């Protein structure tokens, strides 16, 4: 199909090899040349759609949308409209956005791009912050953290600590502090999973399907889990959402494989206790069924790569502090109470979940085959 025919049908023209070479050298000059020769419409929306094609150099895309002339600013405004951030956590939204191009090094270009991101994020998440502008400085702060945490030139003892990250973001939301747990969660996820540019700008929606199961949980963070056989303690990232506790080798993030280890379905008869009796300094969380029967949980079988059902008499977790233990116990008990109060809800159990017999694809099967919760009604596209 000829380029003019593609344009008349609303499809962006396909870049040829000559253009790809020129675009990599100077993206603005290459685009302007095609606009002047009529190969590419001068319409900002058409240029934005053109920049989404996977053949284009991602650094060139970032440099173009970061330019300061009127057309490039209009293209940036249209470019961000291609990104749906509905129900995505803040750093997952950033990961999705930054997968479409390579962020340029110039401060002014970064400033324009992050302002555009913040505006689009607010469109889909209007109630997350008091001030619509809060997403902009927070995005900048996350980029700084990502660079600091994953730059090998920065020695470990000089890297930004969690307390420093929280301090840097004090009063960020129109003079108010952001929720501490919200910031701690962002810090842990960024340190564990670097924000990286993807090898392609194509977005088929599979990462959204994968991550929405675990986005915006009631509670999330690092805990130690005692293994059922070896009795050893392993660090795992726990997520409490929709009447279920999921645990992973590292935090699940947009654009990366989800390393789910297993899940614990909550039940009205599940008892959650703080610590061991008579041990004041203990930070253990124990869970067991009130009637003494084993709790049925799901666990990835490493040999075949699929989920299996296991029966556990007592589940034991270890929190990093007594205060964190108290928050986890409170959140889990609240989730169990919600299950009990919802008479129309079918209590989750491992036997009611269907898992594939083959090794699951994390990008399309977010929880090893467990059905993802249905999101609420989606707002109309801006």
**CA dist., res. 224 & res. 306, Å (int):** 23
> Helix/strand/coil (H, E, C) string of 233-276?
EEEEEEEEECCEEEEECCCCCCCCCCCEEEEEECCCCEEEEECC
**CA dist., res. 146 & res. 195, Å (int):** 7
CB atoms within 10 A of CB 329: 19
Residue 194 CB-density burial (10 A; 0-12 exposed, 13-18 middle, 19+ buried): middle
**CA dist., res. 325 & res. 346, Å (int):** 28
106 is catalytic: yes
DSSP of 333-363: HHHHHHHHH-TTSPPP-GGG----SSPP-TT
Strand order in the sheet with 315-318: 270-274, 284-289, 315-318, 219-226, 233-241, 244-248, 260-265, 295-301, 306-312
DSSP of 156-204: GGGSPPHHHHHHHTTTTBTTBPPPHHHHHHHHHHHHHS-----S-----
- Among the listed residues 24, 67, 78, 106, the single catalytic one is 106
In terms of residues, how long is the chain?
A: 382
Per-residue CA distances from 124 to 142, 165, 173, 253, 356 (Å): 19, 25, 18, 19, 33
CB-based contact 297:244 (threshold 8 Å): no
Determine the 3-state secondary structure of 380 from DSSP: coil
Token readout for 322 is 């007594």
Residues assigned a catalytic role? 106
């Amino acid at each position: 199909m000829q380029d003019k025919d593609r344009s008349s049908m609303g499809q962006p023209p396909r870049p040829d090899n000559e253009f790809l070479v020129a675009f990599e050298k100077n993206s603005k000059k290459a685009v302007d040349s095609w606009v002047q020769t009529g190969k590419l419409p001068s319409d900002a929306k058409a240029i934005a759609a053109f920049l989404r094609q996977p053949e284009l150099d991602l650094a060139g895309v970032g440099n173009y949308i970061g330019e300061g002339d009127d057309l490039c600013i209009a293209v940036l405004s249209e470019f961000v409209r291609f990104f749906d951030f509905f129900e995505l956590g803040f750093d997952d939204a950033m990961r999705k956005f930054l997968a479409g191009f390579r962020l340029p090094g110039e401060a002014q270009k970064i400033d324009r791009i992050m302002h555009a991101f913040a505006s689009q994020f607010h469109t889909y998440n209007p109630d997350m912050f008091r001030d619509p502008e809060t997403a902009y400085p927070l995005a900048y702060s996350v980029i700084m953290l990502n660079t600091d945490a994953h730059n090998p030139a920065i020695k470990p003892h000089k890297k930004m600590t969690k307390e420093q990250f929280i301090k840097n973001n004090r009063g960020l939301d129109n003079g108010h502090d952001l929720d501490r747990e919200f910031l701690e969660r962002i810090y842990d996820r960024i340190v564990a999973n670097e924000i990286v540019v993807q090898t392609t700008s194509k977005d088929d929606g599979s990462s959204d399907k994968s991550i929405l199961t675990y986005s915006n949980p009631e509670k999330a963070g690092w805990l130690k889990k005692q293994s059922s056989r070896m009795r050893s303690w392993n660090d795992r990232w726990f997520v409490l959402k929709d009447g279920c506790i999921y645990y992973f080798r590292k935090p699940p993030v947009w654009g990366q494989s989800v390393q789910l280890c297993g899940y614990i379905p909550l039940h009205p008869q599940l008892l959650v206790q703080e610590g061991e009796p008579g041990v004041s300094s203990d930070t253990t969380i124990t869970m067991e069924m009130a009637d003494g029967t084993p709790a049925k949980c799901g666990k990835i079988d490493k040999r075949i790569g699929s989920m299996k059902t296991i029966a556990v008499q007592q589940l034991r977790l270890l929190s990093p502090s007594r205060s964190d233990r108290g928050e986890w116990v409170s959140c889990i008990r609240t989730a169990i109470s919600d299950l009990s109060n919802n008479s129309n809800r079918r209590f989750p159990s491992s036997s009611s979940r269907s898992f594939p017999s083959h090794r699951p694809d994390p990008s399309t099967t977010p929880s090893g085959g467990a059905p993802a919760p249905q999101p609420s009604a989606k707002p109309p596209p801006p």
